[in-house]
Amino acid sequence: MGELGLKMQVKMGKEKERGRPEKLSVYLYIPNIVGYMRVVLNCVAFVLLCVSPTKHSSPSFISSAFVVMLWMAGALVYLTKPRLAITVIICTRKLELDSFLLLSSSVSTFGAVLDMVTDRVSTACLLVILSQVYRPSLVFLSLLALDIASHWLQMYSSHKDVKDSTSWLFRLYYGNRIFMCYCCVSCEVLYIILLLIANNQTENLLNVSSLPSLLLCLLSTQLLMKPVSRIMDTSALSRYGEPKVLSFETPLHRNTLFSAMSKPVAIEVYNPNGKYRVVSTKPMPGTRWINLLVDQGCRVEICHLKKTILSVEDIIDLIGNRCDGVIGQLTEDWGETLFSALSKAGGKAFSNMAVGYNNVDVEAANKYGIAVGNTPGVLTETTAELAASLSLAAARRIVEADGFMRAGLYEGWLPHLFVGNLLKGQTVGVIGAGRIGSAYARMMVEGFKMNLIYFDLYQSTRLEKFVTAYGQFLKANGEQPVTWKRASSMEEVLREADLISLHPVLDKTTYHLVNKERLAMMKKEAILVNCSRGPVIDEEALVNHLRENPMFRVGLDVFEEEPFMKPGLADMKNAIVVPHIASASKWTREGMATLAALNVVGRIKGYPIWSDPNRVDPFLNENASPPNASPSIVNSKALDQSFRKLSMEHIVSAYKRTKTRAILLDYDGTLMPQGDESNLVFIVSAKSREREQVQM
């Protein structure tokens, strides 16, 4: 650990310069200094005593008794620990008390203390005997004091709180069990050798009638107990599916020296010495996002608080007094208070792990110059697929039928049993035909040959072209062609469609977009699906409508006051309700985490903003490094007006200067150079929603 300590010490010294809390750096220094003293003393002891071991007559009765007591205590703890761990695991699995599991493992404060105490008992036994059989005994007693002090201090600072993948030494130590084992037992082995040397000079080691020999045999057994108990422990934990708990890659961060003893702070830290501090308010799927942040020099802190929705106060605590960026969740209230706290902590970026950002006060972020990221594109198809699933489940009454079967009510096929709606040839209505709305429309048109009617503030020519082409294809094959219509009002969609799916953003214009009056306009047997945001529907009005119209069905992924449902909704057989899982596919969630992380680090490092948030594939390719850009920053214009001020003249002169190959016209008003000199592309403000590529 000595060299590791040095590395940590040097890095922490630098850290201090960057303004980390000094308290932590000091704590990290102490164990390392103590550690070095230990190494030096070990060497002195070894040389001194190998050269001229002065055999002490015989250990006094008191010290022998002390040694035996220590040994017994150590052995007892070792013998009971694996069993204790297994019992706790079984109980916690049954009772779902994960915190207990954490407590019993060696990454919790309690588990780590237990670990340390048993180790120290073992070392103490040897050192006390050595101090009796050798002179000067003071060396051994000092070694014992140092051993205890250094391990105790280390536990509350760097010990097991390290996953610095950039350091070859840490990788070797934490990634290689054999090397780690060697480091852990080498001191004890050294002491045993000393004991053997001393005993060999006078008596037969196997002479169990002599007290030192007997103790030596017993102690050797105890040294073996450590690896044996570890193996039992690890295999027991992996059998119960929690090998991660014992892994050194899942450290608990202890950010203050003593408060950690009573209340472990549930923060997982990666790359503790990273230059930029990025906090994630929740653990997010996959590890790529962590690796990408670490590669860019970030210290990543992941909050593991059991609470599902973090309060503003919780997040203020997480931000602390130095934080460069935060990755947050759509359940959190990112307003003036949090942006002000983040700004005070030196923060530059926040990203929602979501495409929707109605939980974020973008004006407040602008005020503090903080970038707000979101995660478009990666969840488009996944979300559309859930909307399609809810549409089918509602049309064919799948959930009702499933409950019927499970209740043992099925007595045989009947002509009227769970009759639902055929989708083919009917009209699908889409409100908000953006990325997800369009993807959903294509699925329903192509998959079920439905006609399309949509309402959006913008024309979706690409979607229209798709339906036209598909209609022509069907016609050419002798089938009834599908049709499309862009409605001039939302009411038109409500009146005409048989199945309506809501995909707008949530803002002032879409709040209670579907209310009592508009529900009344819909067909009595229509199906309504909502995978956008709960408040787009007046949920109370919906419950009444469902009650009065039993053949009207809904599929809801989102609710007005999540996680709650309005009274009565849960009792409605004509409602299918799922807990906001529309984007919940593994690939998508991992991709969302990646985009959110890259948004934050991109802003921190001053990278440009990606030209097209609808085409984020280059960021999601796991086999290549992502572009040095923030994939999607929603307030880019407000943060950097200069992008917008560039005129066509600038573009043309830039084209001539740099041999730009193409210009992309985009609706969102940002102007961003992308690519390298030889392949420069500008994104130019334009009124049209559709993108055109103009070859120059």
Ligand X SMILES: O=C(O)C(=O)CO
The active-site residue out of 562, 644, 661, 690 is: 562
Peptide bond preceding 563 in cis form (omega within 30 of 0): yes
Smaller CB distance to ligand X: residue 356 or 627? 356
**Helices (H) and strands (E) in the chain — how many of each?**
27, 17
Q: Choose among ligand NAI, ligand X, none what residue 330 binds, the Cβ cut-off being 5 to 8 Å by kind.
A: ligand X
Return the number of the residue (106 or 281) whose C-beta is nearest ligand X. 281
Give least dist CB 583 to ligand X, A.
3
With contacts defined by CB under 6 A, name the span among 29-37, 199-207, 577-585, 601-609 that binds ligand NAI.
577-585
Evaluate whether 445 touches 504 at the Cβ level (below 8 Å): no
Does 355 bind ligand NAI (CB under 6 A)? Our answer is: yes
Buried residues in 273-303 as b, exposed as e (16+ CB within 10 A): bbebbbbbbbebbbebbbbbbbebebbbbbb
Q: Do 487 and 493 touch, CB atoms closer than 8 A? A: yes
Q: Is 151 marked active-site?
A: no
Site string for ligand NAI, 525-554 (x = CB under 6 A): ------xxx---------------------
Minimum distance, C-beta of residue 383 to ligand X, in the bound complex (Å): 7
Residue whose CB is less far from ligand NAI, 286 or 297:
286
For the bound state, the minimum distance from the C-beta of residue 279 to ligand NAI, rounded and expressed in Å, comes to: 23
Among the options 151, 442, 533, 589, which is catalytic? 533
Helices marked H in 430-557: 435-448, 461-476, 490-496, 516-521, 539-548
CA distance 225 to 231: 10
Burial class of residue 269 (count of CB atoms within 10 Å of its CB; 0-12, 13-18, 19+): buried
Kindly state the smallest distance separating residue 434's Cβ from ligand NAI, in Å: 2
Chain positions 342 to 361 lying near ligand X, rule: CB under 6 A, are 354-356
Query: Which stretch in 277-285, 427-435, 442-450, 542-550 sits in contact with ligand NAI by CB under 6 A?
Result: 427-435
Q: Rounded to the nearest whole angstrom, what is the least distance from the CB of residue 311 to ligand NAI in the complex?
A: 22
- Residue of 486, 580, 589, 603 marked active site: 580
Residue 602's binding partner out of ligand NAI, ligand X, none, with CB under 5 to 8 Å set by partner kind: none
Span of 32-40, 362-370, 421-429, 504-512 interacting with ligand NAI by CB under 6 A: 504-512
Size of the site for ligand X (CB under 6 A): 6
Tell me the residue number closest to ligand NAI, measured at CB: 434
CA torsion 88→148→262→327, rounded to 10°? -90
Element (H, E) at 325: strand 325-328
Among 376, 555, 608, 626, binds ligand NAI (CB under 6 A): 376
Q: Residue 281, interface with ligand X (CB under 6 A)?
A: no
- Dihedral over Cα of 319, 324, 329, 332: its sign: positive
Cβ pair 8, 134 in contact under 8 A: no
CA angle 117, 120, 123 (to 5 degrees): 155
With CB under 5 to 8 Å by kind, the binding choice for 456 among ligand X, ligand NAI, none is ligand NAI
If binding is defined by CB under 6 A, does position 379 make contact with ligand X? yes
Q: CB under 6 A: which stretch of 102-110, 152-160, 435-443, 650-658 binds ligand NAI?
A: 435-443
Orientation angle between helical segments 177-202 and 168-175, nearest 10 degrees? 70
Dist CA 88 CA 95 (whole Å): 10
Tokens representing 254 are 């202890």
Helix (H, G, I), strand (E, B), or coil: what is residue 375? coil
**Minimum separation from the CB atom of position 435 to ligand NAI (A):** 4
Q: State yes or no: residue 522 binds ligand NAI (CB under 6 A).
A: no
Distance CA(509)–CA(513), nearest Å, equals: 7
Q: Are 275 and 18 in contact (CB under 8 A)?
A: yes
- Which tokens go with 694? 């103009």
Does residue 457 interact with ligand NAI by CB under 6 A?
Answer: yes
Is 533 an active-site residue?
Answer: yes
Token match 């009444």: residue? 544
Q: Does 379 bind ligand NAI (CB under 6 A)?
A: yes
Q: How far apart are CA 615 and CA 627, in angstroms?
A: 12
Determine if 455 is a binding residue for ligand NAI (CB under 6 A): yes
Which partner, ligand X, ligand NAI, none, binds residue 399 by CB below 5 to 8 Å per kind? none
If contact means CB under 5 to 8 A according to the sort of partner, which of ligand NAI, ligand X, none does residue 431 touch?
ligand NAI
**Which of 505, 577, 646, 686: binder of ligand NAI (CB under 6 A)?**
505
Residues 131-170 contacting ligand NAI, CB under 6 A: none
Could you give the string, one character per residue 571-600, with x where binding to ligand X holds by CB under 6 A and - elsewhere?
------------x-----------------
- Whole-angstrom distance, CA of residue 479 vs CA of residue 473: 9
| Residue range at the interface with ligand NAI (CB under 6 A); choices 9-17, 129-137, 251-259, 455-463 | 455-463
The Cα–Cα gap between 694 and 688 comes to 14
Mark whether 580 is an active-site residue: yes
Q: How many CA atoms lie within 13 A of 22 on its CB side?
A: 1
- In degrees, to the nearest 5, what angle opens at C-alpha 661 toward C-alphas 658 and 663? 105
Task: For residue 557, state whether it binds ligand NAI (rule: CB under 6 A).
Answer: yes
Instruction: Decide the pairing of beta strands 325-328 and 349-352.
Output: parallel
CA 424/CA 431 separation, integer angstroms: 20
Task: Enumerate residues 292-331 that contact ligand X by CB under 6 A.
Answer: 330
User: Is residue 372 a contact residue for ligand X (CB under 6 A)?
Assistant: no
Among 151, 282, 435, 449, binds ligand NAI (CB under 6 A): 435
59 binds, among ligand NAI, ligand X, none (CB under 5 to 8 A by kind): none
Please tell me the distance from the alpha carbon of residue 684 to that of residue 674, in angstroms, as a whole number.
Answer: 12
Helix (H) or strand (E) holding 303: strand 298-303
Residues that bind ligand X (CB under 6 A): 330, 354-356, 379, 583
Residues that bind ligand NAI (CB under 6 A): 355-356, 376, 379, 383, 431-437, 455-458, 503-506, 509-510, 531-533, 557-558, 580, 582-583
Active-site positions read 533, 562, 580
